[in-house]
Structure 1
Amino acid sequence: MEWYWALTLLIGMVIFFMAMAVPVAFAFMAANLIGALVFIGGTNAILQVVDNSSSMITRFQLAPVPFFIVMGSLFFHSGLAVRVFDTLDKFLGRIPGRLCYLTVAGGTIFSTLTGSSMANTAMLGSLMVPEMQRRGYSRRMSLGPILGTGGLAMIIPPSTLGVLLASLAGIDVGRFLIAGIGPGFLLSGLFVVLITIQIWLHPEGTPNYEIEKIDWRAALKEAAVNILPMSLVVFMVIGLIILGVATPTESAAFGVAGVLILAVAFRLISLEVIKTSMLSTVKVSGMVFFIILNSSIFSQLLAYSGASAGMLHYATSFEVSRLYMLSAIFVCILILGMFMDPVSIMLITVPIFFPLIHALGVNPIWFGIFMLLGLEMSQTTPPFGLLLFVMLGVAPKGTTLRQVASAAAPFLICDLVVIGIMALFPALVLYLPGLM
């Protein structure tokens, strides 16, 4: 079978099963079984799939995934997130549009403690949208910053999606997570600049209102109690990896221990909190590992059928620069993001894109962050961007998808600016991993 027919058959089966409303992981599993029968044949095909499955999900580099998930669950369900948000609120005082800035500050902190963009967006939306609406903020100013900041959890470590991408692509997980720090915090800074410009252009979108006078001594005391300990948890997760003291798995375990200790110290822990966090972790981790298993088998079938080699030879036969090729890949990710979730996109594209960028001489860590930014943008791209629907779930009644997408559009420009800076200055991504 020619490589293009093999590629069409394998990807076509996945798209067909997904169009039939089959869950992503099961769609890949069905495509894998049929593909194995077609390209390997007989009972050996099934035996080969089973033999490969166990080795795929028992790799040590996947161990951080459940730790990061349980850390984020404990952080949210225990109420530690609310304490951080309330303390930050007191420091912004009478600044115009302070709730928008609070969203960016709180969302950036939450990103370093959750690892989930959907959880980050849901948390910010449920906390901030009702308050912003009560204060008279416009829909654009209340929804936009939340949608922009919510996606930071995909880039700033610990990123569950980042661990998944690094595992699928065979990249060092620790170096890849650290590479997201520069672009992530630069992006949050650009969000602040964008919000300032929006307030200057449309001051009516963030009306002034009376607030209580700030007692700075009390505010500083609350910061020492509620925020400073969180910075220690962030150091335990990120700092230990940078210093080379701990592996990503060990630092993730330290992070869980840190959040658990803080929850106990603030008397926020209970059996119900632990039960809810553990159930959430088991469900999400099981889904992630099942997806990794099927994606890895899918990659092997692409290689065994000759589809990967044929596609790679075809793509590199064109006399075009790396810039044009990367632009085409980026557009492909955005188009897929209009109809699919990020995990599905990764499962289909990682086995195709990473061999290609290796052939083009592109640094895989740099490309991984580039791909995460594309995936983050795709989550706020209509008609099926997941974060758009998360925001619709917490937005005021009567809010339309068009209004939500319109509020998110300026923040997508910030993503494009960061990608441009990454292209001009690769050290933004590669400097910190180079220190390890």
Structure 2
Amino acid sequence: MSFEMLGLLAILLMFVLMFLRVPIAISMTLPGILGILYLRGPVALESAIESITWTQSFSYTFSTVPMFMLMGELLFISGISTDLFDTFRKWFGNFKGGLATSTIGASALFAAASGSSVASTGTMGVIAHKEMQRSGYSDKFSSGTIAAGGTLGILIPPSGAFIIYGILTEQSIGKLLIAGIIPGIVLTLLFIFTILITVKFQPQLAPDMNMKYSWKEKLVALKSTLWILVLFAIVIGGMYAGWFSPTEAAGVGAAVSVILAMAKRKLNLKSLITALERTLRSTGFLFAIIIGAFILNYFLALTGLPKYLASLITSLDVPWWVVMLLILAMYFVLGCVMDSLAMIVITMPIIVPIIQALGFDLIWFGVWIVVIIELALITPPVGMNCFVLKGAVPDLRLEDIFKGALRFVVPIIVMLVLLVLFPNMALWLPNHM
């Protein structure tokens, strides 16, 4: 049996284990361990596991992950998400579809602090759905808006997806985070445009509102957004200006979040312990998956499968855009059976050599991949954001959430096309760091 065939069998075994509901970390680690044992023997296996586990667990770059997660948890405790939605509601609530627009705006700003689509969806789901339901919004429309807004959590920095991608592909995490700013803003505007078009042609989905606030009330409400903007300026602006490395920026962000929570009188010993517990649990889950991915990737490198597939695809007599469409189709299918993190860690060893052979910039490709993952987060059958929203708001029907989210597939696809046509949308800011 050829080495490449062994690599394919390992990937097949991984998918079988996933379908059997074996945890993702084990599903990736077991085929890697068996493969290394078969090819190199127990001594090499022991050496590989020891080296990979030690190197990745004690990676200075990896400390970025728990710090940004802690920052998001502390901001959640501070109640900033409620304040953000209230601010946007006062500014835009009186317009047709204004509450849906407010949900997208609040989700975008919350994304600038949380770095997680799951956190953004769950947090905004409880707040925004009650308000839209009370105002007579369609459940499909409101839930779809919340699920779509949550996807911005992995595109607008700080983004956990960019950090994991940067570690796996050995790209600058700072540049990846900066690269998500302009696409994040553009996609937010595309979501808002989608809402405006929807209520224009289906006015029954969002009834007319009668919310009138004075300019004084609107200006006072802006205080909550200033906290996020200041935090964003310190963390992301500090990286852009070269004041902080990504790891240092994450630490500074967590420290500023502690100060913010204390200033809002929301931080006590119990809430601090809760934030730390959630951060540790999430970080442990991520580290287990990433270590498992590196073990599997080590075995795949031994088989030569990634290089073989890259040479096979690049030798095909087809235009580059056909290859990109095939990659898009592959991620669309994978998104039906696994979550976003699993897609990144499993596919990067195979996809990156192909992208490099085609001559594409890996920073640009990182943004493109994250936008594709946003698509997977709201499409059935495993649209993670939709399930998170169902868990946060049990009275919503999962069928309605998926149907409502499908209209936001269009702006995400438009975003993918724009990134291909105008790659500088993702590369301009990183190139000027």
Q: Same fold (TM over 0.5)?
A: yes
Aligned length: 433
Matched-pair contact (CA < 8 Å) for 1:104–1:192: yes
SS at the partner of 2:58? coil
- Comparing 252-261 and 64-73, the one that deviates more: 252-261
Matched-pair contact (CA < 8 Å) for 2:81–2:124: no
Q: Quote the Cα distance in structure 2 between the aligned partners of 1:398 and 1:131.
A: 14
Deviation at 1:45, TM superposition (A): 2.0
Q: Quote the Cα distance in structure 2 between the aligned partners of 1:49 and 1:227.
A: 46
Aligned to 1:255: 253
Q: Quote the Cα distance in structure 1 between the aligned partners of 2:389 and 2:276.
A: 25
Deviation string 1:267-291 (CA, Å, 9 cap, x unpaired) is 1111121011000111111111222
Q: Is 1:427 matched with 2:421?
A: no
Provide structure 1 residue ranges, at least 5 long, that are not aligned to the other structure: none
Q: Quote the Cα distance in structure 1 between the aligned partners of 2:131 and 2:346.
A: 40
- Comparing 102-111 and 42-51, the one that deviates more: 42-51
Deviation at 1:42, TM superposition (A): 3.0
Matched-pair contact (CA < 8 Å) for 1:36–1:46: no
Matched-pair contact (CA < 8 Å) for 1:57–1:292: no
Aligned to 1:47: 47
Q: Quote the Cα distance in structure 2 between the aligned partners of 1:93 and 1:423.
A: 35
- Comparing 319-328 and 302-311, the one that deviates more: 302-311
Q: Is 1:285 matched with 2:301?
A: no
Deviation string 1:100-158 (CA, Å, 9 cap, x unpaired) is 11101100000000000011111111111122112110123211211111101111100
Aligned to 1:181: 181
SS at the partner of 1:381? coil
Aligned to 2:110: 110
Aligned to 1:371: 369
Deviation at 1:84, TM superposition (A): 2.5
Q: Is 1:193 matched with 2:193?
A: yes
5 Å-filtered alignment, 1:146-225, equals: 146-211=146-211, 213-223=212-222, 225=223
4+ runs of 1 displaced by more than 6 Å? none
Aligned to 2:226: 228
Q: Is 1:241 matched with 2:209?
A: no
Matched-pair contact (CA < 8 Å) for 1:155–1:184: yes
CA RMSD of superposed structures (Å): 1.5
Q: Quote the Cα distance in structure 2 between the aligned partners of 1:237 and 1:310.
A: 41
Matched-pair contact (CA < 8 Å) for 1:33–1:46: no
Matched-pair contact (CA < 8 Å) for 1:388–1:405: yes
Q: Quote the Cα distance in structure 1 between the aligned partners of 2:423 and 2:221.
A: 39
Q: Quote the Cα distance in structure 1 between the aligned partners of 2:258 and 2:265.
A: 10
5 Å-filtered alignment, 1:2-401, equals: 2-211=2-211, 213-223=212-222, 225-395=223-393, 397=395, 399-401=397-399
Deviation at 1:93, TM superposition (A): 4.6
Provide structure 2 residue ranges, at least 5 long, that are not aligned to the other structure: none
Deviation string 1:148-184 (CA, Å, 9 cap, x unpaired) is 1110111110001210111111111000111111111
Q: For 1:433, give the aligned amino acid.
A: P
Q: For 1:64, give the aligned amino acid.
A: T
Normalized against structure 1, the TM-score is what?
0.96
Matched-pair contact (CA < 8 Å) for 1:165–1:368: yes
Percent identical: 31
Q: Quote the Cα distance in structure 2 between the aligned partners of 1:250 and 1:189.
A: 31
